[in-house]
Structure 1
């Protein structure tokens, strides 16, 4: 259904689709890992990469992001997600819903006009101003154990969807509205730390400013990730993702790594290949209790560098779901297995000690007679 909705538009080259801001990262954490987030999708930013991951939210989350780009372009993002207090459509677990607002400014455009008297007059316009309002839903739809070649595996599956309302304005004059849908599927083996994902983004109507309609940058994402626990509260996450732009005949291979240390900070590294702006990405996250500050930067090759900073806050004081830690960390010490409990022997009671009456002090053997 999603693919057919965009089938009328022939694929062009990179940048041929409208609303290129829909391809930008909205999560500094994801940017630091080169955009590898469809198979991770474990926070509020999942609604823009793989809405199925919203089903992993255990606490209400709020996020804000600021992006500084090329030639004065800017991106601001606000999002909020909350688990619901009732069981979802699949009857397995409580779902989560989310809403987000994305603002984009593409810089200024200066129009210069030569007057009949030879003087030059100029006027400045906003080159392009965009707004995207999104609503997301995700839930767990399958959870069971299965045996593959004698090994028992636990499989959890999630589905999700995001609806988008897109509003755009060019040169303070031409405006247009479009609608789009995102959809995602996420499968996980939590005991092994493995996950896989398929997601669709920006499939919907084209956007029409004047007479001709331009397609949206529809993307198909396929990704895998592996999270390896280490000693105590540390973990290493490795992921790979392939993005295919349906309307632009463009494919991007992404590779990302995240090192999590002691609930204090995260280090991230990524690389984008076959992209219109390939290169390395870097990221850093600092946590304090329920607040995290994330920074991401993309070192683009010949085009430009991008940088993002964001805040995420988890409202841990209210949770309609039982919190289950995703990663089971290894014990730092190899402790022997406990011995089977045997029949306890009754405690040996010591024989009662016979108390002797206190002896009275005897007087001398001779008494004086008066």
Structure 2
């Protein structure tokens, strides 16, 4: 019987308190299980496996981690509950998937007009974000760490040209929250389909548009063969992060040196995965342009202003769910104001002048 069948039989739900054996410890070796919400393929699942391998090698084999693809051990999106209960020791996932537990999780995965990947990492590591995240996830018996990043995403795929914000009225769009709420307020019908269903849904006309990640992952899925218009920038997810979640009792049972080792490995994988996504997105974009069948367009300024105006209220709502959400939202706003003063005259200004070379 697979562990996901155990979940079904037990009726596992948020906040469930179940008793399971501690991680296997034999001859000084700890065998842990990491469940993910990533399907087989490039990008995120290889990142999770690379992280596990780094931890194993850095610990000289004392910590061994078995990584599973989405659905292999527990059902998709039950990964958080599985780690919370102690059924498994770790998850690797987009923590925004679990926003029903706390809307504040969105701030650690990506919000509209939010942090870039570098800014998010700066807030979490040096701006007080980690301490607040620890307190929030501690309520669910989980120790969270940033562990991977897709970087800035694209705005999305459309079967027809978008000329104004009014064009979103009646549009059938696949998008994740909280960006989905922005299009919902513009009159779109928003659905959250599993990745495996997106291409067929576009081809059949079940949806008119979707967003996924960026050129690398989007082309691997075949989205460029199902829609003709590809829009940027990815205002809805400027620096999307993936979290490593560790059962808190397991985390506290580790030696402090092993805790520091896992923290370092997760930080390393965040940087490595970001570099990998940036490189492969650049290569994929070049291939896409060379093929010449897809029209790559920028959302016009009027549309971007409309998205931004609605996003203010959407993000504020994500920060109003409970006491922790409010504290995290205020910290996010304070650090965003601070970091923008530097980002705008540093990397932002530099990118604006690089066209002169």
Is this a same-fold pair by TM over 0.5? no
Larger Rg: 1
- TM-score (normalizing by structure 1): 0.29
Instruction: Report which structure shows greater RCO (CA 8 Å, sep ≥6).
Output: 2
Q: Indicate the structure with greater strand content.
A: 1
Q: Indicate the structure with greater helix content.
A: 2
